[in-house]
Structure 1
């Protein structure tokens, strides 16, 4: 039985992971008494006794827990970090199993895994296959638009929406310095920084990430079918990511995959106008957070 400690299990992602793991016969969830949550010595002792630590913490707190693990040497547990702190850090494996061939195996063998960000998972799922296929140039100017349910916005945003004090829809991060951009660039293999415009709607969970492009800006001037073929090849053996047919009514419901760990990739092409819209749909708490973490955990323990 694998011993797991969720550091930060009172937050949104930590609670979701704990609920998903509860009752599993192959896992023992180890907890720290509430009065000792901020006791570094108590946490260090607990970390020395578990196999895997899942960090669901603010970035600075995640770094502190990693430092405690560093001090344990060979007694340190493997780490799965759901914060932003280590997503582009040296020595960490990126926790998006469908990124490329061999990524799932790299996660399974790693000592330290950085769980993927919710927006980043959708953007990378759209971009990496086309960059690997040579259709998008790494220095291509890109705009990424996204809308998420409010559960991805942290405690203050969640409380604001649940009290009925927040607007029905809002753009945010308008300083254009969103924390997911570095990992999007790193793992989509972009040389040029994309313009990223996130937004939040008055629904708890669900996400759409979209990227508009002129077809003639892609290498070789492909048709929409060529783009679909690149996704079909890339995700042919993927368990949780799939190319989905464009709906006939030309609409997408952001909440359609809620409660699942899946992601759907869509290609909308207007050949007459030579316009292309790429869309990823997912549950920001599923494939965008806790679902991806459990998927990575299962790879780590050989399931």
Structure 2
């Protein structure tokens, strides 16, 4: 019996931060074939066009405008696309590449020909908020804020060079807040895919470390309808992600233990080190409540280059090609 040809994958922009990570995760796999552009033809539009149409699945790791241009170059209707930019994350006809977001999302990704890879901050935020909106614990119109810190790799080659370079071009900043215009490019997908009526107040920051992310959503539970308890919030998250391999929700005992027995100076919790999941495709969620149950801090821990970028892309790629979802992860 003649064997079926391996699915062909082309990464357009494989030299970038995310592209390199995706290629590393796919290298050596025997269930697909990686296509690469001839280095001598890297700047030749026709060479790119040929590969974009020769592949079974294309991964775009490009700036927004370049991604739109690349999609326009794909003429074959059989070519599937995953785009890692922000260009299509809320666009009609594109499926959001967060398989665990709802019970139907995984099936939608399997059937899709166009998938937008989620942003790193939105992955943590949506992972925390969407189940609460769906469960009716968090009204869609409720004002929500989110604080987050990422390693500087999330800013791409420019920010990496700045943090790793020597002065005068380099920086010695230990912590850098940004997005003070309140118009961060992730806000549209954070609003739409979380199910909220309004964008959250988003306070992103970069720390002086390369990789890893911590995303926090503080909630005034006393102001919510029905005044849900921290346990109810946690139980809603656990129900939403029951059986999921790549999304884990810490139980009440674990969170209480982290708060009390294992907290360091000033209540520091070592397990919430933003670098602790680096290299994985895991998203870990935590719920910490005040003693009177009136307030809660919801935290998401992930690798901004893993579940926040390359890992999520490979997960969707596996689904779209009909392969085991966890291969390479």
| Structure-1-length-normalised TM-score | 0.96
- Where structure 2 has 5 or more consecutive residues not aligned to the other structure, the ranges are 1-5, 325-329
Tell me if 1:66 matches 2:68.
no
Q: Are the equivalent residues in 1 in contact too, given 2:229–2:293 (CA < 8 A)?
A: no
Tell me if 1:45 matches 2:65.
no
- Give the paired residue count: 300
Aligned counterpart in structure 1 of residue 287 of structure 2, from 234, 248, 267: 267
Residue of structure 2 in register with 1:151 after alignment: 153
Cα shift at 1:45:
1.5
Q: Are the equivalent residues in 2 in contact too, given 1:206–1:283 (CA < 8 A)?
A: yes
Within a 5 Å distance, the mapping from 1:8-27 to structure 2 comes to 8-27=13-32
Tell me if 1:131 matches 2:133.
yes
| C-alpha separation in 2, matches of 1:212 and 1:12 | 31
| C-alpha separation in 1, matches of 2:291 and 2:132 | 18
| C-alpha separation in 1, matches of 2:156 and 2:141 | 32
Residue of structure 2 in register with 1:208 after alignment: 214
Cα shift at 1:78:
0.4
Aligned counterpart in structure 1 of residue 229 of structure 2, from 217, 223, 230: 223
Give the 3-state SS of the residue equivalent to 1:204 in structure 2: coil
Q: Are the equivalent residues in 2 in contact too, given 1:4–1:52 (CA < 8 A)?
A: yes
| C-alpha separation in 1, matches of 2:163 and 2:26 | 28
Within a 5 Å distance, the mapping from 1:1-303 to structure 2 comes to 1-69=6-74, 72-74=75-77, 76-164=78-166, 165-166=170-171, 167-244=173-250, 245-246=254-255, 247-248=258-259, 249=263, 250=267, 251=269, 252-272=272-292, 274-302=294-322, 303=324
Give the 3-state SS of the residue equivalent to 1:48 in structure 2: helix
| C-alpha separation in 1, matches of 2:179 and 2:156 | 14
| C-alpha separation in 1, matches of 2:317 and 2:245 | 15
Q: Are the equivalent residues in 1 in contact too, given 2:13–2:60 (CA < 8 A)?
A: yes
| Structure-2-length-normalised TM-score | 0.89
Give the 3-state SS of the residue equivalent to 1:213 in structure 2: strand
**Cα-to-partner distance string for 1:12-50 (whole Å, 9 max, x where unaligned):** 000000011000001111011123233222211222211
Give the 3-state SS of the residue equivalent to 2:54 in structure 1: coil
Cα shift at 1:219:
2.4
**Cα-to-partner distance string for 1:141-199 (whole Å, 9 max, x where unaligned):** 11110000000012111101111522011101211111111001110011012110100
| C-alpha separation in 2, matches of 1:2 and 1:162 | 38
Q: Which stretch shows the higher mean deviation, 37-46 or 189-198?
A: 37-46
| C-alpha separation in 1, matches of 2:93 and 2:130 | 21
Q: Are the equivalent residues in 2 in contact too, given 1:148–1:207 (CA < 8 A)?
A: yes
- Where structure 1 has 5 or more consecutive residues not aligned to the other structure, the ranges are none
What's the RMSD between the two structures over aligned residues? 1.2
| C-alpha separation in 2, matches of 1:219 and 1:274 | 12
